[in-house]
Copies of this chain bind each other. A is one copy, B any other.
Amino acid sequence: MYNTQAQVLYDFTAEPGNNELSVREGETITITNQNVGGGWIEAKNSRGEVGLVPEDYIEAQPFTSGGNAASLDLSLFDSHIPAPPSTAQTSNGNDPWAVFDSNASGGFSNNWAAQPEGTETGETSSSAWHSGGHGHPQAYQGPGAEDDEWDEEWDDVKSSGGYAESEAGEGGAIHRGGAHGSSMKIALNKFPGFSKSGPELYLLSKQPAKGTRLPVYGGEAGPVWAYPDYQLDCVVADPKKGTKMYGLKSYIEYQVTPTTTNKPVNHRYKHFDWLYERLLDKYGSAIPIPCLPDKQVTGRFEEEFIKMRMERLQGWMSRMCRHPVVSSSEVFQLFLSYKDEKDWKMGKRKAEKDETVGVMIFSTIEPEGLPDLDLIEVEQKCEQFNRFTRAMDDGVKDLLTVGNEHWKRCTGPLPKEYQRIGKAFQNLSSVFNSSGYEGEATLTDALTAAGKTYEDIAQMVAEQPKKDLHFLMETNNEYKGLLGCFPDTIGVHKAAIEKVKEADKLVATGKITTSEKITMSKRASTMSYALQAEMIHFHTNRIYDYNRVMQQYLEQQVKFYEMIAEKLRHAHSQFTTM
């Protein structure tokens, strides 16, 4: 419980345009709204200025007067003291794990065992998932949902200097709770490989390749990555609430168990985010690294939120495991099977110092026994992939739009209508019951049963999307995320092609040698093989994924309609024409 008065523990400088309030250590402020969410509270300073302040930067004054014991306690643990956002934004790489966890939103229980308001154990957690019930039609909670009430990672905000907004940007944005329902997005995603340098860094590089070599072979359908004999996978499960600083801060830890070792490791969301950053830095120029499920997830209740995030982290991890280059990388292996804290910390530092990032990843790619491609072929392939990924992006978005509409109808007006039909039958039944005429019990019972059947159907209709449409939407959301990476990836290739096209001019003006020009062309060919291998990887996965999700969808749809038919058959059997 907060008192309305609070003491500021650390300096905080407001970001312009974000409704924030700058405060100084030791200042006393008045909390005007503690239910802002996202780790923020709204407060007023002594000059009457109102704005948002991170709730961890202040200490509410307990009702029982008393000094600020908590802040004294906190001061014993220097490493846990939150660095102000401005510092955190630049301290990336020192020790990201040391950045504190924000607490959950205002009205939110710290007690993990306690059920969130309105939910019950078991079934309800999933039935409330998409706002459950028929009363309130709810759109599919896919990307772009704006009401992210619960978010422990807002404090992970880093410099957005290197971020270029792309179609994938949606997933990479982070919401900060707004005091008045408006949420502010802060770009999180960054792509150093793009901002630091163009593809010429690789095309003209004189350095020997560093790091594991990535062979590309000639496969039946075209160039392919080297696939491992055993396909890695992992299980993300068992989310647990952990606490820090004597329970003042809480976070969720997920158990990640790779199928190789079967030895679980624990990771918090920010660890996944760190992994994502590393993979994006290292492979992003060659391989689309989809955004983390991140802030796509919303949920009315903590339990739903965690379940949904876990499900999407599982999807992301499985996709990464399926990628032969990503899954065999040192950083990914570290994430999945670090031995202990020390092992993890050492591996982490090593990964952060990796120099083979951005376009330099192409220096490790080695086409095996494949002839050099001429520029026309390289360009044609690139154009083809560009066309296809754009067309698929449109198709996927179209399906998502339609699916979202359908979700709304199935959870809103449709069950309401079946409910009304059910009620109308039951109403007529009770009127008939009042007729005073003997011998119509069979009819009134049957009519009541028919009415209840339509109420059951209403319930089934409302719950069905979670059983089928949900997975269709999830898969398409994943692909939307993946496809959103292609413009950047393909952009690197296009830029390389342009550079090679300029090579003659560069030779003529003495900027490069003829030998360097040949190298450039050869390297563009290598890049093309990488892109082709990646496309074949994409296609095979796509074919598998869509076959699987359509099977799953249709199977559930069949079950759904069969169950309705069965229920109606039973209702039908109760009527009789003498």
Q: Which 10 A-B pairs have the closest CB atoms?
A: A554-B572, A561-B565, A437-B539, A399-B424, A395-B431, A395-B428, A551-B575, A562-B565, A402-B424, A391-B431
Please give the residue numbers on chain A whose beta carbons come within 8 Å of chain B beta carbons, in ascending order: 221, 384, 387-388, 391-392, 394-396, 398-399, 402-403, 405-406, 409, 413-414, 417, 420-421, 423-425, 427-428, 431-432, 434-440, 442-443, 446-447, 450, 535-536, 539, 542-544, 546-548, 550-551, 554-555, 557-558, 561-562, 564-565, 568-569, 571-572, 575-578
> Hey, which chain B residues are within 8 Å of A403, CB to CB?
421, 424
Task: Look across to chain B and name the residue whose beta carbon is closest to the beta carbon of A393.
Answer: B431
Task: Look across to chain B and name the residue whose beta carbon is closest to the beta carbon of A555.
Answer: B572
Q: Which of B394, B558, B569 contacts A568 (CB 8 A)?
A: B558
Given contacts A395-B431, A405-B420, A420-B402, contact A438 B565 (CB under 8 A): no
* CB–CB A558/B554 < 8 A: no
Give the shortest distance, in Å, between A59 (CB) and chain B (any CB). 53
* A439 to B536 alpha-carbon distance, docked (Å): 12
Give the shortest distance, in Å, between A447 (CB) and chain B (any CB). 7
* A330 to B432 alpha-carbon distance, docked (Å): 34
* CB–CB A388/B565 < 8 A: no
> Hey, which chain B residues are within 8 Å of A571, CB to CB?
554
Task: Look across to chain B and name the residue whose beta carbon is closest to the beta carbon of A551.
Answer: B575
* CB–CB B391/A434 < 8 A: yes
> Hey, which chain B residues are within 8 Å of A427, CB to CB?
395, 398-399
Q: Can you list 9 A-B pairs with a CB-CB distance of less than 8 A?
A: A395-B427, A409-B414, A435-B539, A446-B550, A450-B550, A547-B575, A554-B571, A558-B568, A561-B564
* CB–CB B565/A577 < 8 A: no
* A576 to B544 alpha-carbon distance, docked (Å): 8
> Hey, which chain B residues are within 8 Å of A436, CB to CB?
384, 388
> Hey, which chain B residues are within 8 Å of A398, CB to CB?
424, 427-428
Give the shortest distance, in Å, between A428 (CB) and chain B (any CB). 4
Task: Look across to chain B and name the residue whose beta carbon is closest to the beta carbon of A438.
Answer: B221
Given contacts A399-B428, A406-B421, A546-B443, contact A565 B558 (CB under 8 A): yes
* A446 to B450 alpha-carbon distance, docked (Å): 37
> Hey, which chain B residues are within 8 Å of A550, CB to CB?
446-447, 450, 572, 575
Give the shortest distance, in Å, between A20 (CB) and chain B (any CB). 42
* A536 to B403 alpha-carbon distance, docked (Å): 53
Give the shortest distance, in Å, between A542 (CB) and chain B (any CB). 8
* A434 to B385 alpha-carbon distance, docked (Å): 10
Task: Look across to chain B and name the residue whose beta carbon is closest to the beta carbon of A572.
Answer: B554
Task: Look across to chain B and name the residue whose beta carbon is closest to the beta carbon of A425.
Answer: B399
Task: Look across to chain B and name the residue whose beta carbon is closest to the beta carbon of A564.
Answer: B561
* A446 to B543 alpha-carbon distance, docked (Å): 11
* A158 to B439 alpha-carbon distance, docked (Å): 44
* A550 to B444 alpha-carbon distance, docked (Å): 12
